[in-house]
Structure 1
Amino acid sequence: MIQCPRGTRDFLPDELEKRRHYESVLRGVARRFGYREIETPIFEEAELFILRSGPNVMKELYAFKDKGDREIALRPEMTAPVIRAFVNGMGSYPKPIKLFYFGQCFRYERPQAGRYREFFQFGSEIIGAATVETDAESIAMAASMIKALGLKDYKLRIGHIGVLRQRIADIGVPAEKTAEVLQKLDKKNYDECRPLLQSMGVKDEDISGLFELTETVGGTEVLSKVPGEAGDYLRSLTSILEKMGVKDVEIDLGVVRGLDYYTGMVFEAEAPSLGAEKQICGGGSYSLSELFGGEKVFSTGFAIGFDRILLAMEREGIAYEPEGIDAYVIPVSDDVRADAAGIVTAIREAGASADVDIMGRKMAKALKYADSVRARCAVIVGRKELDRGCVVLRDMKTGEQSEVPLAELAGKFAQE
Structure 2
Amino acid sequence: MSAAVPAPNLTQDPRLLEEALVAHFDAAGFRRVHPPILQPADVFLDLSGESIRRRMYFTSDAQGRELCLRPDLTIPVARAVLEEDMPLPATVSYLGPVFRFRGTAPGEFLQAGVESFGRPDLEAADAEMLALGLEVCAIYGLDTPEIRLGDVGLFSALLDALPLAPAQRRRLMKDFGQGRISTDFRRKTNGQESGPAEARHAGVLAALNGADPEAARALITDLLSIAGISTVGGRSVTEIAERFLEQAELDAGGVSDEAAEILSRYLAISGEPDEASARMRALAQEAGIDLSAALKQFDQRAGFFTALGVDLSAVRFSTAFGRPLDYYSGMVFELHDPAGRADGPLVAGGRYDKLLGRLGASETVPGIGLAAWLERLALLETPVQEGA
Q: TM-score, normalised by structure 1?
A: 0.64
**Is contact 2:186-2:255 (8 Å) kept?**
no
CA apart distance, 1:124: 0.9
Map residues 109-258 of structure 1 onto 2, 5 A cutoff: 109-112=102-105, 116-130=106-120, 131-152=122-143, 154-186=145-177, 188-189=179-180, 194=185, 200-204=253-257, 206-219=259-272, 220-227=274-281, 228-247=292-311, 248-258=314-324
Mark the CA change 1:155 to 1:17 in structure 2 (over 3 Å): closer, same or farther: closer
Q: Could you tell me which amino acid in structure 2 is paired with residue 109 of structure 1?
A: R
The yes-or-no answer on 1:305 pairing with 2:295 is no
**Distance in 2, Cα, partners of 1:79 & 1:285:** 11
User: Counterpart of 1:284 in 2: which secondary structure?
Assistant: strand
Of 357, 362, 367, which aligns to 1:290? Answer: 357
1:31 aligned onto 2:51: no
* Structure 2 CA distance for partners of 1:122 and 1:195, relative to 1, 3 Å: farther
Q: 1:186 to 1:195 in 2, by over 3 A?
A: farther
Please tell me whether residue 99 in structure 1 is matched to residue 92 in structure 2: yes
> Closer, same or farther in 2 for the Cα pair 1:85/1:75, shift >3 Å?
same
Hey, what does 1:266 align to over in structure 2? 332
Whether 2:13 is the aligned partner of 1:18: answer yes
Q: CA deviation at 1:315?
A: 5.1
| Among candidates 304, 314, 329, match of residue 382 of structure 2 | 314
In the alignment, which residue of structure 2 is the partner of 1:352? Answer: none
Distance 1:37 1:16 in 2: 26
Task: Say which SS state the counterpart of residue 132 (structure 2) adopts.
Answer: helix
**Change in 2 beyond 3 A, CA 1:170/1:281:** same
Contact kept? 1:255, 1:268, Cα under 8 Å = no
Give per-residue Cα distances to partners, 1:309-331, cap 9 Å, x unaligned: 222442548xxxxxxxxxxxxxx
Q: Quick one: distance in 1 between partners of 2:71 and 2:305?
A: 31
CA contact (8 A) 2:148 2:333 kept: yes
What TM-score comes out, normalization by structure 2 length?
Answer: 0.68
Q: Which has the higher contact order (CA 8 A, sep 6+)?
A: 2
Equivalences for 1:327-366 in 2 at 5 Å? none
Q: Percent identity?
A: 26
Distance 2:178 2:43 in 1: 25
The residue that corresponds to 1:360 in the other structure is none
Distance 1:179 1:309 in 2: 35
For the residues of structure 1 that align with 2:381 and 2:18, how far apart are their CA atoms? 14
In 2, the alpha carbon distance for the partners of 1:297 and 1:171 equals 27
Q: Secondary structure at the match of 1:289?
A: helix
Between 1:290-299 and 1:99-108, the stretch displaced more is 290-299
What is the 5 A alignment of 1:270-281? Answer: 270-274=336-340, 277-281=343-347
d(CA) in 1 for partners of 2:38, 2:119: 28
Distance 2:346 2:336 in 1: 5
Q: Alpha carbons of 1:56 and 1:257: their partners in 2 closer, same or farther (altered >3 Å)? A: closer
Shift of the 309–174 alpha-carbon distance from structure 1 to 2, 3 Å rule, reads farther
Unmatched runs of 5 consecutive residues or more in structure 1: 1-14, 318-416
1:64 paired with 2:59, answer yes
CA distance in 2, matches of 1:101, 1:109: 22
User: In 1, distance between residues paired with 2:58 and 2:315?
Assistant: 39
Using the alignment, how far apart are the partners of 1:21 and 1:262 within structure 2? 32
User: Which protein has the larger Cα radius of gyration, Structure 1 or Structure 2?
Assistant: 1
The two structures, once aligned, show a CA RMSD in angstroms of 2.9
Q: Which structure shows the higher strand fraction? A: 1
Structure 1 residue 206: Cα displacement: 3.4
